[in-house]
Chain A
Amino acid sequence: MNSSTYYKARLARFYGTPDALSLPAVERARRILSHLEPVMVSSADEIPPQHRNLRTLFVTSFRGAPLAPCPGTRVHRCCNYYTVDLYAGCPLGCTYCIMQSYLESSPVTVYADPSPAIAAIRAQALADPLIPLRVGTGETGDSLLFDPLFDLTRRYIGELADLPNVYFEAKTKTAYVDHLLDVPQKGNAVIGFSVNVQQAATEEGASAPLRERIAAASRAAEAGFLVAFHFDPLFRMAEADYRAVAAQLAAAVPARQVAWVSLGSMRYTPGLRAHIDRPYIHDEFVGCADGKYRYIQRERVALYRAVVDALVEHFESRPPIYLCMESEAVWERVFGALPDEMPELEALFAGAPPRKEGQRCGR
């Protein structure tokens, strides 16, 4: 499904704050969403309760902290990633998505003025120009699902391209990259794709099929973008098939253009558990130190090793591979080392600014 068809089928209402409705990004979206008449509200609280769902679009100028450390997870290793809110709420409908437990009765919110976030990223990057700063928009929603409507990622990429230490990542489960391919100055912009085995397609709702995501990754790389892959969540039942996915990725994107690959296994909070009624939830999960439930440690170590081995085997040179939200014990069993002892991960893990006490990440 192309993006226009998707929006027309999926979006039923359009709300916005007065300060946002005149922003260029919103005017662009209004032209495309000509079937929807925007309703002005002073805040999301004014949207009628029956309209607070993922078929409603709510645009607002930026509010809140423009740049924040990734929430990560307490106790487990942090990957020094920063997030900005761009699109909050995602209607793709992945059965394992943590957002089911807290964003289900909210509209898709678009923070349509990226200026404060761009300024915050620039300030942090310029304050420590030798320290790589990884920052992404995929924390509270898909970075690119609504981006053809608003074209906001283009501004981030363009206005951060002159900063050699900034790796700005747009993370997606769609194949909506074509509107970005002609961005003239890409800098270190990264288009990140969540990938999974084909058997998991039923768990990923309206996400693009794997082959489309890989084709999009290939187009992005050809256009000069760095590309990232996120195997998250890995499902234990499909261990052998991840090898084939690794081979497909390696065939589609040259290793030199792979910024990083992250691996995370299926996990859930007790709150999310109540929302999941799928066969994979009947596997054996154990409680971890951060309160989440994961596969038995030795089983997920085996799973990670299998994927790492496949990636190393298929890519012509080893891309930076890291674990998302995992303990030091698992790092040591998978890699035989912690991230700050692995030269290929030094830029990702060791160089980031120190976290101040009270910040959210658990490192």
Chain B
Amino acid sequence: MRMESVEQLRRRLGALDLFVATRLPHDRLIQRGLTVALPLAGASRGELLWGGPLLRRAAQLGVKTVPVQEVDVADSRDALFLALDLEARAGEYTWDEREAIYRFALEHEITIDTELSQLVTGDGSFADAMMRYLRLAPRWQRAVEDGSVDIRTAEACGSLPAPALAEVSGAPVQLSFSNRRRLLSWLTEICGRDGLHESAAVELARQVMRADDPVEATRLLRYPRLSAMESRFRDLERELTSGVPLSLAAPQGFEGPGFEMQLRLRSASDIDRAIDALRRIQDRGDELFDLL
């Protein structure tokens, strides 16, 4: 191990300068030279195999030298594995970093096998996920990169015009990750179903994001018949059980054999009122069972 000039080392950064979110040591440690030795490929042109972010930070801090160590690497795959071992952020790389790793592997004809995938994503999904990511339009890649949607939502919503996505992303109301996913999926489906062009899609997005509950507002538009059935059921339930210690529940999505009824009896008069309510339900049973 020896100390080497930061300025000279920066000129020796090569194609393996792939990382932007490296976990750096504390500035005080960098200033005192107490950092891991940066690997210099001894057998080739002395290319620096890892440590770009550390070097850049050292330069910002006015540090003149950092420790380095010459290492032997057999080939590009060996060099990439060394860089990934030193970076040690499996499963935590940004999408930009993953893309850089992926492109490095392709350019250097490195097989993306399970071993490499484990070092990048912590599982076997690296190649498949990258291919899916690279198929996305840039606006959806940005949405995946900033964590506002997952890759599956981005794929499903790919046809949603960019300005409509911007209406959702830029709205003041904060949506949870899962609600944003549901809302975007439904918006995309409504646009597909109704053949909405960009301006109409933007207006739709604007309209739902102004609602008190944007997710529910979108759901009503996506499922108008189901929503009407839910509304009808609520009305019936209110009419039939109002003031009675009885509750009526419909199966989820009106998918199922029947309704569930619950009685809470605290006195004999509760029984009378419940019997009256049951008679009303019996009289209007057709309206109720028409929903199933």
Contact = CB atoms under 8 A, between A and B. Distances in A.
Interface of A: 274, 277, 279, 281-282, 284, 286-289, 294, 296-299, 327-329, 332-333
Given A282-B193, A284-B225, A286-B226, A333 B292 contact: yes
Interface string B219-238: 00001111001000000000
A123 B53 CA distance: 71
Contact of A286 (B152, B156, B190, B255): B255
Contacts of A279: 192-193
Given A274-B156, A282-B193, A287 B253 contact: yes
A274 B155 contact: yes
A26 B120 CA distance: 46
A304 to B, nearest CB: 14
A282 B253 CA distance: 16
Nearest to A288: B255
Contacts of A288: 255
Given A279-B193, A282-B192, A296 B257 contact: no
Nearest to B193: A282
Given A286-B254, A333-B292, A296 B226 contact: yes
A327 B189 CA distance: 28
A298 B292 contact: yes
A298 B229 CA distance: 10
Given A274-B155, A274-B156, A284-B226, A296 B253 contact: yes
B119 interface: no
Interface in B202-260: 223-226, 229, 252-258
A286 B250 CA distance: 14
A332 B257 CA distance: 9
A329 B250 CA distance: 14
Contacts of A289: 255-256
Contact of A298 (B155, B223, B257, B291): B291
B156 A282 contact: no
A328 B257 contact: yes
Contacts of B75: none
A235 to B, nearest CB: 15
B193 to A, nearest CB: 4
Contacts of B156: 274
Contacts, number: 54
B253 A298 contact: no
B253 A286 contact: yes
Main secondary structure of the interface of B (DSSP, over half): helix
Contacts of B229: 296, 298
A328 B292 CA distance: 12
A72 to B, nearest CB: 18
B115 to A, nearest CB: 18
B289 to A, nearest CB: 9
B286 interface: no
A329 B254 CA distance: 11
A328 B229 CA distance: 22
A213 B93 CA distance: 54
B107 interface: no
Nearest to A300: B255
20 contacts: A274-B156, A279-B193, A282-B192, A282-B193, A284-B223, A284-B224, A284-B225, A286-B254, A287-B252, A287-B255, A296-B225, A296-B254, A297-B254, A297-B256, A297-B292, A298-B254, A298-B290, A299-B225, A328-B257, A332-B257
Most buried by B among A279, A281, A294, A296: A296
A329 B193 contact: no
Contacts of B226: 284, 286, 296
Contacts of A297: 253-256, 292
Nearest to B229: A296
B292 A282 contact: no
A289 B252 CA distance: 10
Nearest to B256: A329
A333 B156 CA distance: 35
Nearest to A270: B152
A294 B290 CA distance: 18
Nearest to A287: B253
Given A296-B229, A297-B256, A329 B192 contact: no
Nearest to B222: A284
Contacts of B224: 284
A192 B116 CA distance: 49
A329 B256 CA distance: 6
Nearest to A333: B292
Contacts of A294: 255
Contacts of B256: 289, 297, 327, 329
